[in-house]
Amino acid sequence: MSAVTVSDEQATSTKAKVIQPAWVRALHWTNAFAMVLMIMSGWQIYNASPLFGFTFSSSITLGGWLGGALLWHFAAMWLLMVNGLIYLVMGLVTGRFRRKLLPITPEGVISDTKAALTGKLSHADLTRYNQVQKLLYAGVIIVGILIVLSGLAIWKPVQFQYLTALFGGYEAARYVHFFCMAGIVAFMVIHVVLALLVPKSLRAMIIGR
């Protein structure tokens, strides 16, 4: 009897050890790959008609010229969109978004930011996100939705003209698309630095534990 109880407990503890389930890991890395393709080809497209007084160095762009970059951008967009849709549906259906990302409170974000900056933030339990993580992860999901919608608004300003109008017209949608990219790149920099500072979080996103 007691042996059975022990193995049950073991089973439960092994199960509890899985920090990132396989579907999250698969979608995360697919998204990372698609996003890098989209951003690098997007920079090359930006260079054809810059919104600001700078262009991106061709050493960090993809496609070689506008035509090549557009081919990459409009190919990788399918990967990004399909992968992103599966992620949103799974996140809602499994309750992962609600469980992991909510609630977010201003007080919690402030106290966790202070704790992070003074080196007092605990990383003992990686299955539970701190308030800063929750805010950044929820935020980047929203920006991710916005960048796809503003992209569709730029791509089809006649067929999807109501969507384009929602962004304030074609020209405004280009700026929204650009600033969403800037937000995502800023997130990626912080995200990668923090993952490297807490390597077991990176391990969890690769092997699950």
Site string for another protein, 183-202 (x = CB under 8 A): --------------------
Question: How many chain residues are in contact with another protein, going by CB under 8 A?
Answer: 29
If binding is defined by CB under 8 A, does position 49 make contact with another protein? yes
- Rounded CA-CA distance 84/72 in Å is 18
Both structure tokens of 22: 């396989």
Q: Does residue 199 have a cis bond before it (omega within 30 degrees)?
A: no
Of the two residues 56 and 97, which places its CB atom closer to another protein in the complex? Answer: 56
Ranges within 137-166 binding another protein (CB under 8 A): 154, 156-159, 161
How far is residue 181 CA from its own chain's centroid? 11
Q: List C-alpha distances in Å: 64 to 58, 61, 154, 174, 198.
A: 7, 7, 22, 21, 36
If binding is defined by CB under 8 A, does position 36 make contact with another protein? no
C-alpha neighbours within 13 Å on the C-beta side of residue 7: 3
The residue from 26, 64, 168, 189 that contacts another protein (CB under 8 A) is 64
Of the two residues 134 and 177, which places its CB atom closer to another protein in the complex? Answer: 177
The residue from 18, 27, 66, 121 that contacts another protein (CB under 8 A) is 66
Q: Which residues of 175-188 are buried (b: 16+ CB within 10 A; e: fewer)?
A: ebbbebbebbeebe
Of the two residues 14 and 161, which places its CB atom closer to another protein in the complex? Answer: 161
If binding is defined by CB under 8 A, does position 62 make contact with another protein? yes
Which parts of this chain interact with another protein (CB under 8 A)? 33, 45-46, 48-49, 58, 61-68, 70-72, 74-75, 78, 154, 156-159, 161, 170-171, 174
